Chains A and B, each alone.
Chain A
């Protein structure tokens, strides 16, 4: 597994404590899991995606990731309506491991409050929480 220094935690996304990332893409929020989460989970073999159109609150479970080690829940980093899901993950769950911030995105959300994303952590704040976990 990677050391903290080896993790790729870009500064153009925001981070949730539960290891999801969220990126503001012209008003919509794209969500995935970050490099730390994918590295900890190991090879992901199945992604359970939500229905498009579902409305969920921040912190609610929107899907699950199944790796060779365990099944983990993934949580909404912001409240809103799910406007798109990454259907490519059904055939190629490994994208979450290979490109967590690009082709491994999981859902797109129309946020109830466009400013809520700013309450999430930036990469430096997130790294500090990881150090606390050590």
Chain B
């Protein structure tokens, strides 16, 4: 194998800090005592916790080395389907570290927080415009929290009309958190199967939608990376029976500036700022899952809400029908700054272009790999494409083996075994931030892995061989977890 980019080099071992320290070593100098000694209460004295004694350089090297074992979007391509691991521009970090923002405190009164409140107010307006919805709450801390918020809003809506509906329809191509969020809110999720072409036929919804159903939760584009083409018809069916349509906007990266979700029938949807709007996530989080609604749901939005009176921004709790507070304060503010920075630096044309390139990149990968990997739904995809290991079954090579081998080529593996509707799924989302050259290298890597599967399948079963750790025993880790050092 030709030496791929970024796969070889020095991997520095690093022991635990407890194994590095030496009694008496110290990283700082105590100032001279300039007060009279005052003995502590006996209950407060005794041995301290078992912390190692370390010098500054011990600590710096330790964490620098550990950070080098990581793989992130700053290291290389991270095509984790449904996660939108796009590059996080550094300008976002610069804006978030401006002293006025970084030093803000949630308990400061509004007249000392005008800048922070204005940012929230404007971000709500941007998100409403991008989605084609009427009002927004920034409180939810992440996507699933946004889903729960949406469910609470739908419940509050029906309750205000004196109706008590128990069921929520969830297609099998929705995100796995959807039925969980509905159930957490007390609804009974009702599963519906997608059609043979990977999208939901409107008839399937007509067949089960009734006056006992509060609404539908639909991910569009869905988890197969396909656009739900019957969405308007489905929304009409749901609306005609008095239900509401919840949209999971986790895949919004495919359609920014292209589809107005409000116009295709969504009544409420969440966005993942940490996916679509380029804020760090995974280990770099936290997330943020704003919820956008049509005006019929606006009275129920969580409080406090940012309002504008004249030239002044205020926090108002005066919304008697509100579902209440969802967060200790107002949401993950640092994430909001970064997302706002992204939206303002991209502009409306830039966001649209990002979605177009995200879709183009996914289709480019799909077309180049469909002869090597089985493509269960062979049609134009949105921002991600889903393959499976069916063509490798003869060699008994699984999706897991191929994903592990990809690490040896210097790439983060894609999402595997999801969505569940595809057996042995491998879900690839390149995002718009990868160059054509990098995408070509990724395609070449997967092609050579497929070739290796035919010639030397054991090479894949042993993979990965180059990262810091080899293949982990996931079964033992799940059956007999060891949660301490």
Q: Can you offer 9 A-B residue contacts whose CB atoms are under 8 A?
A: A1-B393, A1-B396, A1-B398, A45-B475, A46-B478, A68-B478, A70-B420, A93-B479, A94-B479
By size class, the interface of chain A is 10 to 19
Question: Judging by beta carbons under 8 Å apart, are A45 and B420 in contact?
Answer: no
Task: Identify 18 new A-B residue pairs, CB closer than 8 A, beyond the known A43-B474, A45-B479.
Answer: A1-B393, A1-B396, A1-B398, A43-B475, A43-B478, A43-B479, A45-B475, A45-B478, A46-B478, A68-B474, A68-B475, A68-B478, A69-B417, A70-B417, A70-B418, A70-B420, A93-B479, A94-B479
Q: Which residues of chain B come closer than 8 Å to A66, judged between CB atoms?
A: 478
Which residue of chain B has the shortest Cβ distance to A69 in the bound complex?
Answer: B417
Contact with A along B411-433 (1 / 0, CB 8 A): 00000011010000000000000
Q: Which residues of chain A come closer than 8 Å to B475, judged between CB atoms?
A: 43, 45, 68
Q: Which residues of chain B come closer than 8 Å to A43, judged between CB atoms?
A: 474-475, 478-479
Q: CA separation between A115 and B398, bound complex, in Å?
A: 41
**What 8 A-B pairs have minimum CB-CB distances, sorted nearest first?**
A45-B478, A43-B475, A68-B474, A69-B417, A45-B479, A68-B475, A70-B417, A70-B420
Which residue of chain B has the shortest Cβ distance to A66 in the bound complex?
Answer: B478
Q: CA separation between A68 and B400, bound complex, in Å?
A: 11
By size class, the interface of chain B is 10 to 19
Residues in B lying within 8 Å of A, measured CB to CB: 393, 396, 398, 417-418, 420, 474-475, 478-479
Q: Which residues of chain B come closer than 8 Å to A1, judged between CB atoms?
A: 393, 396, 398
Q: CA separation between A119 and B417, bound complex, in Å?
A: 33
Q: CA separation between A66 and B418, bound complex, in Å?
A: 14
Which residue of chain A has the shortest Cβ distance to B389 in the bound complex?
Answer: A1
**Distance (whole angstroms) from the CB of A104 to the closest CB of chain B:** 14
Q: Which residues of chain A come closer than 8 Å to B396, judged between CB atoms?
A: 1
Q: Which residues of chain A come closer than 8 Å to B474, judged between CB atoms?
A: 43, 68
Q: CA separation between A43 and B475, bound complex, in Å?
A: 6
**Distance (whole angstroms) from the CB of A60 to the closest CB of chain B:** 13
**Distance (whole angstroms) from the CB of A94 to the closest CB of chain B:** 7
The residue in A43, A46, A69, A70 that gathers the most chain B C-beta atoms within 10 A of its C-beta is: A69
**Distance (whole angstroms) from the CB of A66 to the closest CB of chain B:** 8
- Among A80-134, those with CB < 8 Å from B are 93-94
Q: CA separation between A45 and B393, bound complex, in Å?
A: 24
Q: CA separation between A38 and B266, bound complex, in Å?
A: 40
Q: Which residues of chain B come closer than 8 Å to A69, judged between CB atoms?
A: 417
Which residue of chain A has the shortest Cβ distance to B423 in the bound complex?
Answer: A40
Q: CA separation between A93 and B478, bound complex, in Å?
A: 11
Q: Which residues of chain B come closer than 8 Å to A45, judged between CB atoms?
A: 475, 478-479
**Distance (whole angstroms) from the CB of A116 to the closest CB of chain B:** 24
Q: Which residues of chain A come closer than 8 Å to B393, judged between CB atoms?
A: 1
Q: CA separation between A80 and B474, bound complex, in Å?
A: 36
Which residue of chain B has the shortest Cβ distance to A73 in the bound complex?
Answer: B191
**Distance (whole angstroms) from the CB of B36 to the closest CB of chain A:** 60
